[in-house]
Structure 1
Amino acid sequence: MAVHMIDVHFVTFDCARPYELATFWRDATGGELHPETQKDHDEVLLQGRVNLLFIKVPEGKSTKNRVHLDVTGTGGTTRDQEVERLLGLGATVFEDRRKPNGGGWVTMLDPEGNEFCVCRAEYERA
């Protein structure tokens, strides 16, 4: 029997200001805005290891995300260093679930209130 699979094409964010939110995530992830991106577009694509698509919608966020991103540092940065860097980019801490033993994560909000978690990278857990 043949195995059928799908590829995830984009992770899509509904938002009020697609360009601004895409630039936050660009700075956070190191991705690149699609070359045809304009500040006034209703859809902005951020290309990277995971493609993120930001689409303008009229309604605001009203409840907890049903899907969220879990992110880790790269290149030797720690979870705590990433939390500080993301704060500097405009994120806020929503829930700090770090544990005294070094485990846990930090749930943060991007500039439009979307939750994401900053976790320890594999090299940090080793």
Structure 2
Amino acid sequence: MVSIGQVVLGVTEMPRAVRFWTQALHYIPRAGAVTDTWTILDPVNGLGVPVALGLSSSPVQQVPRIHLDLFAETTQEQREEVERLVALGAELVQWDLYPDNADFVVLADPEGNRFCVIDLSHE
């Protein structure tokens, strides 16, 4: 049997990506190790899936087939988290694929990787 061990994001500038994702997720580099080509980030509290950052020259997908969903418990928390993430360097994505009454907001990290902030209270 297998399980998800970590999620890997391709990045072009490791220090910038480490700075953003450690602050965005409240994660820390595993054993304090940050290299130019590979860094694993672990949750500070030990709960959650690690995120690995790997140096990549591949272009960012405008409509990625795989992406991260970050959960917010309420609409207010979602709004606050989106504002916090934008202040850290994320950008709001002009997403023409939003369904009516969407429960998610699409953002891009400083590398251009798309991710969503989901409002879990949305009905």
User: Is this a same-fold pair by TM over 0.5?
Assistant: yes
Q: Which has the larger radius of gyration?
A: 1
CA deviation after TM superposition for structure 1 residue 34, in Å: 1.5
1:34-53 matches, within 5 Å, as 34-38=30-34, 40-48=35-43, 49-53=48-52
Identity of aligned residues (%): 24
**1:91-106 map, 5 Å:** 91-95=90-94, 97=98, 104-106=103-105
Indicate if the aligned counterparts of 1:13 and 1:54 stay in contact, CA closer than 8 A.
Answer: yes
Rounded to whole Å, the distance in 2 between the matches of 1:118 and 1:98 is: 15
Map 1:9-48 → 2, pairs under 5 A: 9-38=5-34, 40-48=35-43
The whole-number CA distance in structure 2 between the counterparts of 1:13 and 1:81 is 24
1:6 aligns with 2:5: no
Matched to 2:79, the amino acid is D
69 and 125 in structure 1: CA distance in 2 versus 1, 3 angstrom threshold: same
TM-score by length of 1: 0.77
Is contact 2:103-2:122 (8 Å) kept? no
Secondary structure of residue in 2 paired with 1:111: coil
Q: Give distance in 2, aligned partners of 1:8 and 1:18.
A: 23
Q: What displacement does 1:26 show?
A: 0.9
Sort the Cα spacing of 1:98 and 1:28 in 2 relative to 1 into closer, same or farther, 3 A: farther
CA distance in 2, matches of 1:35, 1:62: 31
The alignment yields a C-alpha RMSD, in angstroms, of 2.6
| Whole-Å separation in 2 of the counterparts to 1:16 and 1:86 | 19
Q: Unmatched 5+ residue regions in structure 2?
A: none
**2:72 alignment partner in structure 1:** 73
Question: Deviations 1:33-57 (Å, cap 9, x if unpaired)?
Answer: 122423x531011112111111112
